[in-house]
Structure 1
Amino acid sequence: MKKFRILCFTSMILFSFLLSLLPSSVEGQGEGKLVFYIPVEQEVERGLQAFLERSIDTAIEEGADHIVFEVDTPGGFVDAAGNIATLIRNTPIPTTAYVIDQALSAGAYISLNADKIVMKPGSTMGSASVIDGSGNAAEDKAQSAWLAEMRQAAELNGRNPIYALAMADPTIDIPESPEGEILTLTPREAMEVGYAEAIANDRTELLDFLELQNAREQEMEITFAEQIARFVTNPIIIPILLSIGSMGLVLELYSPGFGVPGIMGLSALFLFFFGHMVAGFAGMETFILFGVGIVLLLIEIFVPGFGIFGALGIGAIIGSMVLASYSTTNIILSILIAIVLTVAMSIIFFKYVGYRGPLKRIILKDATKSEEGYVSNVTREEIIGKTGETLTVLRPAGTAVFNEERLDVVSEGGYIGQGRKVKIVSTAGSRIVVRELMESKEE
């Protein structure tokens, strides 16, 4: 009996040891693991790219076991979407795109680059055609490149690329989409074609699907500075900011004191540089170069330097903006727009308002008008008709004497010899015109 009890006790210990080697039960799955939630919201642009880069780096540093990208975006810019897709593909941590509302256009492309796609009921994914800045279909070259990117993203995780291509090209005919329309998938349709692995109402159901029920959860939040960066780095906002900045500073030169135009101009330029610095596109060197440009322009205004300081100042300011921008083409176009608007505004303002600010002190506007008492030469109309004699030869200018008054005169155009009788026929300021008298010739 004693041996039996010892055998039972030994068997229980061995069974417990073997049980501990088995995988954890469903209730214990995910315990001790960390899940990071990263929002992919609003328009896809460079500011979002900077935020996602910071978030992914943070997740890696914190030792996250899984990253969930909560997607809700109508799309955005192709270049930013491509960079974000590269970030997701190169992430060493397993990733899931959880479509909570919309994953359209660039959002669909980003989602396809995640390891898994889970959709919330009522969400949609697709409608990924490329359009240009005017809202029209992009040229064939851009469209072809985008189709290649969509195909590659679909094939990355073994999905049938025909549906990714149908999301971007309305000419592709598939049963799930009416002829001539681009494809947009509902959660159920995405499940049927293999573009979604599950449908989850909330994060709890999502974690159940990922077998991470008891995992620790951490959510990344966009900071206020990053929100500003996302706004001001938008390619549509950049020319507006630069235009406000340049027009504000120019208006300040016309306005007395330092007021609203100057504050608006400096604020707009500060937002431009601050947003690009937060987004990771600019450093302190851009602020320094911009400041040097402003100083050089002030030197040119108050200490004339034959245009050298002005040219260097303008070059420094434009250079600082180019260095701060992520796209040379976009920033040059934005600067040209700002210059055109500023020149037009300056002409209108000068015409209807005039100089009232600092420019009034350095630009000479006064004129020596006769109405204000300034007379350079008096027109002597009272001497018209007087006769006299030439002291010198008139060829046609010379000197003549009238009633013992010596005057500088000119003939009407012909030659008049010395000692000839002449008559004053007109005066205009210092100009006295004479004509030779015929009587003199008879003598």
Structure 2
Amino acid sequence: MVYFVRKSAAVLLSLFLLFAALPSGEADASENDKVFVIPVEQTVESGLKAFLERAVEDAESAGADHIIFEIDTPGGAVDAAGDIASLIEDASVPTTAYVVEEAMSAGAYLALSADEIAMAPDTQMGAAQVITGSGNAAGTKVQSSWEKNMQNAAALNGRNPEFALAMADPSVDLPEYSAGKGELLTLTASEAAEVNYAEYTPENREALLQELNLSNAEVQEIEVSAAEKIARFVTNPVLIPILLSVGSIGLIIELYSPGFGIPGILGASSLGLFFFGHMIAGFAGYEALILAGAGLILLAVELFIPGFGIFGLLGAGAFIASLFFASYSTLNIAVSILIALILSVVTVIMMFSVFKKRGPVKRFVLEDSVTTDEGFISNENRPELIGQTGKSLTPLRPSGSMQMGDERLDVVSEGGYIEKGRDVKIVKAEGSRIVVRDINE
């Protein structure tokens, strides 16, 4: 009996040691997990949205188990923020927003849209009131919609919507968090953790991965490509009117310059950047490029083969339509085109007043002149004929011919009819016009 007990104990101890030596299922899963880190940096705008769409799609296609959005943004456009928030909410894998510097304004909205929020020490999140381009608060309708979006994003993941509302509405009074009436709420990392607006406050990414139980996971960072950096730069709402203005003014100045020089290169490059950036960002398709090309060709036809303005109007219409096709915002592109048009008109006026007729404009204006200094003589003046006399060879009615010595002259009478064979006197000689008078009267 004692032997049986000892034998059983030895077997159980061996089994225990065997299972203890085996890696746990949790460790295996962690080692096989894939974590994708996606940066959310600089201004929130449509170019950022295009990059995040590509990044999330790449992560999902690669079988990501978790996505970490590392946020450092002062905010940006409300419409772009709404699209990006939907992208984060609809991701098919768990998401964590990790605030590495700041998540202000639209950035706070993006952070609230993730499944979890982590904030590094000395970071902040909040101050999310809608501000117009002129620096003033947005209208009541827009502000009300934005406040609802902020509250819904907070409630979606079990957070108190009051704090999200205080970030967007300065009338909400939360003095215990330095957000008195008239001030927007901005939470530090410790305050966010206290009110359940941050699940973690890790020092760095490695600490966050430990908090997420993903310390052994394969981490892959998705970087912004060079083309996407250009796209983000040129699709910035502030830069678009500058690109269109430089493009149109450069081409206009080129018309007044011989050959193809720096203004033409700058103009063509600016317009090329506009279309390239919008194509990379996914806003413009080939139809926009085809329309733009057709518009430029028609404008060139109008310039070199005048067609009563028809080709010019069709060309301008096609090119403007291509800008609308390429743009992500009808209002933004309309304002940008208006700015470029005003500056272009001013440039044309200056070109005409300063440089007069130069470039292709000269094709339509006859500027050559013939002068006697260059050897061109249209009519020879003969003042020495004045006072000379002769006889009319033909009746003068009032024009005809006279004989003066050995020379025959074409003349006109000073008054009325002069018969053939009458004595006449030359009283005026202006170029080819010689005037005579009947001296027999």
TM-score (normalizing by structure 1): 0.82
* 3-state SS of paired residue (2:39): strand
1:320 equivalent in structure 2 = 322
User: How many residues in Structure 1 have an aligned counterpart in Structure 2?
Assistant: 425
Provide, for residues 293-325 of structure 1, a one-character-per-residue CA deviation record: whole Å limited to 9, x for no partner. Answer: 222222222223332322222222122221111
* 3-state SS of paired residue (2:35): strand
2:116 equivalent in structure 1 = 116
More moved, 313-322 vs 216-225: 313-322
Q: Which amino acid in the other structure matches residue 364 of structure 1?
A: V
1:48 equivalent in structure 2 = 48
CA distance 1:339–1:371, shift in 2 (3 Å)? farther
1:423 equivalent in structure 2 = none
CA distance 1:193–1:305, shift in 2 (3 Å)? same
Q: C-alpha displacement at 1:151, in angstroms?
A: 1.0
Q: Is the 8 A contact 1:100 1:123 kept in 2?
A: yes
Specify which of 193, 196, 220 is matched with residue 194 of structure 1.
196
* 3-state SS of paired residue (1:143): helix
1:146 equivalent in structure 2 = 146
- 1:227 and 1:123 map into 2 onto residues whose CA distance is 25
- 1:45 and 1:301 map into 2 onto residues whose CA distance is 38
2:278 equivalent in structure 1 = 276
Provide, for residues 339-380 of structure 1, a one-character-per-residue CA deviation record: whole Å limited to 9, x for no partner. Answer: 1111111211221123443x1552214275889899999999
- 1:216 and 1:143 map into 2 onto residues whose CA distance is 42
2:38 equivalent in structure 1 = 38
2:259 equivalent in structure 1 = 257
1:170 equivalent in structure 2 = 170
- 1:82 and 1:242 map into 2 onto residues whose CA distance is 27
- 1:308 and 1:430 map into 2 onto residues whose CA distance is 46
Q: C-alpha displacement at 1:179, in angstroms?
A: 2.5
Q: C-alpha displacement at 1:225, in angstroms?
A: 0.7
* 3-state SS of paired residue (2:68): strand
* 3-state SS of paired residue (2:170): coil
CA distance 1:109–1:6, shift in 2 (3 Å)? same
Q: Which amino acid in the other structure matches residue 48 of structure 2?
A: L
Q: C-alpha displacement at 1:66, in angstroms?
A: 0.8
- 1:429 and 1:190 map into 2 onto residues whose CA distance is 100
1:128-139 → structure 2 map (5 Å cutoff): 128-139=128-139
Unaligned runs of 5+ in 1: 385-390, 393-397, 411-415, 420-427, 432-443
- 1:165 and 1:102 map into 2 onto residues whose CA distance is 18
Matched, 1:336 2:338: yes
CA distance 1:302–1:315, shift in 2 (3 Å)? same
1:38-77 → structure 2 map (5 Å cutoff): 38-77=38-77
CA distance 1:28–1:308, shift in 2 (3 Å)? same
* 3-state SS of paired residue (2:32): coil
Q: C-alpha displacement at 1:187, in angstroms?
A: 0.7
1:296 equivalent in structure 2 = 298
1:362 equivalent in structure 2 = 363
- 1:290 and 1:276 map into 2 onto residues whose CA distance is 13
Specify which of 305, 310, 313 is matched with residue 311 of structure 1.
313
Q: Is the 8 A contact 1:29 1:214 kept in 2?
A: no
CA distance 1:91–1:121, shift in 2 (3 Å)? same
- 2:69 and 2:125 map into 1 onto residues whose CA distance is 14
TM-score (normalizing by structure 2): 0.82
1:185 equivalent in structure 2 = 187
Q: Which amino acid in the other structure matches residue 107 of structure 1?
A: G
- 1:100 and 1:399 map into 2 onto residues whose CA distance is 102
Q: Is the 8 A contact 1:276 1:282 kept in 2?
A: yes
Provide, for residues 55-114 of structure 1, a one-character-per-residue CA deviation record: whole Å limited to 9, x for no partner. Answer: 101111111111111000000000100000000000011111110111000000100001
Q: C-alpha displacement at 1:19, in angstroms?
A: 6.5
- 1:139 and 1:409 map into 2 onto residues whose CA distance is 87
Q: Is the 8 A contact 2:172 2:180 kept in 1?
A: no
Q: Is the 8 A contact 1:166 1:173 kept in 2?
A: yes
* 3-state SS of paired residue (1:92): coil
More moved, 29-38 vs 138-147: 29-38
Unaligned runs of 5+ in 2: 387-395, 419-429, 434-441
CA distance 1:348–1:361, shift in 2 (3 Å)? closer
* 3-state SS of paired residue (2:36): strand
* 3-state SS of paired residue (2:31): coil
- 2:151 and 2:373 map into 1 onto residues whose CA distance is 80
Q: Is the 8 A contact 1:29 1:213 kept in 2?
A: no
1:436 equivalent in structure 2 = none
- 1:154 and 1:325 map into 2 onto residues whose CA distance is 32
Q: Which amino acid in the other structure matches residue 154 of structure 1?
A: A
Q: Is the 8 A contact 2:102 2:123 kept in 1?
A: yes
More moved, 189-198 vs 40-49: 189-198
1:388 equivalent in structure 2 = none
1:97-112 → structure 2 map (5 Å cutoff): 97-112=97-112
Q: C-alpha displacement at 1:211, in angstroms?
A: 1.4
Specify which of 217, 220, 243 is matched with residue 219 of structure 2.
217
Q: Which amino acid in the other structure matches residue 259 of structure 1?
A: G
Q: Which amino acid in the other structure matches residue 283 of structure 2?
A: F
- 2:372 and 2:349 map into 1 onto residues whose CA distance is 28
Specify which of 186, 202, 207 is matched with residue 205 of structure 1.
207
- 2:188 and 2:372 map into 1 onto residues whose CA distance is 82
Q: C-alpha displacement at 1:284, in angstroms?
A: 2.8
Matched, 1:159 2:194: no
CA distance 1:365–1:108, shift in 2 (3 Å)? farther
- 1:330 and 1:375 map into 2 onto residues whose CA distance is 62
- 2:239 and 2:381 map into 1 onto residues whose CA distance is 62
CA distance 1:3–1:257, shift in 2 (3 Å)? same
CA distance 1:16–1:243, shift in 2 (3 Å)? same
Q: For the aligned residues, what is the CA RMSD?
A: 4.0
More moved, 144-153 vs 281-290: 281-290
- 1:141 and 1:361 map into 2 onto residues whose CA distance is 55
- 1:238 and 1:325 map into 2 onto residues whose CA distance is 10
Identity percentage of aligned residues: 53
